[in-house]
Structure 1
Amino acid sequence: MNDLTVLELDALAEIFNISVGRSASALSELTQEPVTMSVPVVHVMPIHRVIELLSPGIGAERLTCVSQMFNGSFSGEAMLMFPENSSLEIVRLMLGSQVPIEQLSEIEQDALNEIGNIILNACFSTIADMLQDTFSCDLPELTVASVDEILQKPESEQTVLFIQIQLALESQNLEGYLAFIMGSGSEANLQQALRGFLEGVQ
């Protein structure tokens, strides 16, 4: 994929801004707390650069990752990641649970998958609406591991569409990350779709 232009990056940021707004409304209903999300910061970079970017802030802390394979005019793997303790705090609010956060129960795993489903589906729905595309998605899978273990792929030079978001709940602020890992053909198709979108709004 050629480097995205400033306008193309702005278009991606706007698409994800709308996506996270929809996600915040859905999470507010689940947690029974006001939830706001910051304007997302969008990066396009190789996987190894994402690992380098995340590692200093997270350190040895494990991430909770909900991932989904997706197919459309561009295809790949979508990932929603939170530091483990942060994700469990969201689950506790969602479930009204007072259980310790050190261990995930089966119910909590289901809840995390549901949270991931809500946020990722909001993203795909918005992308499909704005880029006039359709997507099919596999069932979400939950992984709790280090950032290296989650993102280390056989083709480490694959490009990642990486989005940083801040979630603000009434009780605390949390940081989350969205990553869309795509092959070179999908990257080119995404860029073509963005150009078509920009031509339509000019």
Structure 2
Amino acid sequence: MMNDGMLSQDEIDALLRGMDSRDRAPALHDIFTPLEQDALGEIGNISFGSSATALSMLLNQKVEITTPNVSVIERTRIADEFPRPYVAIQVNYTEGFHGINLLVIEQRDAAIIADLMLGGDGTAPDSALGEIQLSAVQEAMNQMMGSAATSMSTVFGKRVDISLPTIHLLDLSEGKGLEYLPDEDFLIKVSFRLKIGTLIDSNIMQLLPVDFAKELVTYLLGAAEGGEENRPELPAGAPLSVET
């Protein structure tokens, strides 16, 4: 039964199982209450705030990440969401939570980050992204996500650990890399605007399975049965700018 116009978790699961490619994706408000939407955005905001600091120090550049936009995307139409070549960094949560977080950036942005990591000025990156460049991007993302996990530990009040990130090339319009995405019909996309000096002004995106995103916000808000009390209060979201 629906409660105050919201779907229960059982109804959400049934909805996600029962929809096929001819049906529309569920709207965000079908899955999350307004408070849960805010909480999900703030989790991303807090995580990427610390990530921006780590990236700024690594690249010796001003890094700005805006407040996030949260949406639901359908796996069968994911090529429309990612029409250009991208680089995906996969992180598995191994302690505190268990789930997959996929960080997606455009391939040209990854090339700029790799060039900066390797001592260049970012103005003439090697767009081929060979093994050395991919390793450089992987290390940058490792530092970012490690910093994010530390912040999450503080916010959630428990230890949060992640695996070493793995990196994949995606060209979904050509059908390449789909196997690296979470095996879910629908995914939560948390999108940020990323600015690095004058070199990058683009989007950086998180892809989360719906159940994992729901687990995060439920735990944070203390709504789960037997959840701990006195969780930290969420700060107001704001654009983040870090300069070294």
Give the TM-score normalised by the residue count of structure 1: 0.80
- Cα distance in 1 between the residues matched to 2:202 and 2:137: 15
Instruction: For residues 121-170 of structure 1, give each alpha carbon's deviation from its aligned partner in whole angstroms, at most 9, with x where no partner exists.
Output: 2332222321223333222111112235444558432x533211111122
Structure 1 pair 156–12 and aligned structure 2 pair: CA distance change class (3 A) = closer
Q: 1:146 corresponds to which residue?
A: 171
- Moved >4 Å (runs of 4+): 151-154
Query: Match for 1:125 among 140, 145, 150?
Result: 150
Query: Match for 1:5 among 27, 30, 33?
Result: 33
Conservation of the 8 A alpha-carbon contact between 2:182 and 2:209: no
- How far off its partner does 1:46 sit? 4.7
Q: 1:176 corresponds to which residue?
A: 204
Secondary structure of residue in 1 paired with 2:195: strand
- Cα distance in 2 between the residues matched to 1:177 and 1:187: 14
Structure 1 pair 48–119 and aligned structure 2 pair: CA distance change class (3 A) = farther
What percentage of aligned pairs have identical amino acids? 24
Structure 1 pair 192–94 and aligned structure 2 pair: CA distance change class (3 A) = same
- Cα distance in 2 between the residues matched to 1:54 and 1:43: 11
Question: Larger RCO: Structure 1 or Structure 2 (Cα < 8 Å, ≥ 6 residues apart)?
Answer: 1
- Cα distance in 2 between the residues matched to 1:24 and 1:93: 15
Structure 1 pair 96–138 and aligned structure 2 pair: CA distance change class (3 A) = same
**Structure 1 unaligned blocks of 5 or more:** none
Q: 1:156 corresponds to which residue?
A: 184
Please state if 1:195 is matched with 2:206.
no
Q: What RMSD in Å do the two structures reach over aligned CA positions? A: 2.9
- How far off its partner does 1:114 sit? 1.2
Larger Rg belongs to: 2
Secondary structure of residue in 2 paired with 1:143: strand
- Cα distance in 1 between the residues matched to 2:42 and 2:166: 27
Structure 1 pair 53–126 and aligned structure 2 pair: CA distance change class (3 A) = farther
Q: 1:66 corresponds to which residue?
A: 89
Structure 1 pair 128–156 and aligned structure 2 pair: CA distance change class (3 A) = same
- Cα distance in 1 between the residues matched to 2:90 and 2:51: 16
**Structure 2 unaligned blocks of 5 or more:** 1-8, 13-30, 224-228, 235-244
Structure 1 pair 5–166 and aligned structure 2 pair: CA distance change class (3 A) = same
Structure 1 pair 135–199 and aligned structure 2 pair: CA distance change class (3 A) = closer
Corresponding pairs, count: 194
- Cα distance in 1 between the residues matched to 2:157 and 2:178: 29
- Cα distance in 2 between the residues matched to 1:4 and 1:175: 23
Secondary structure of residue in 1 paired with 2:222: helix
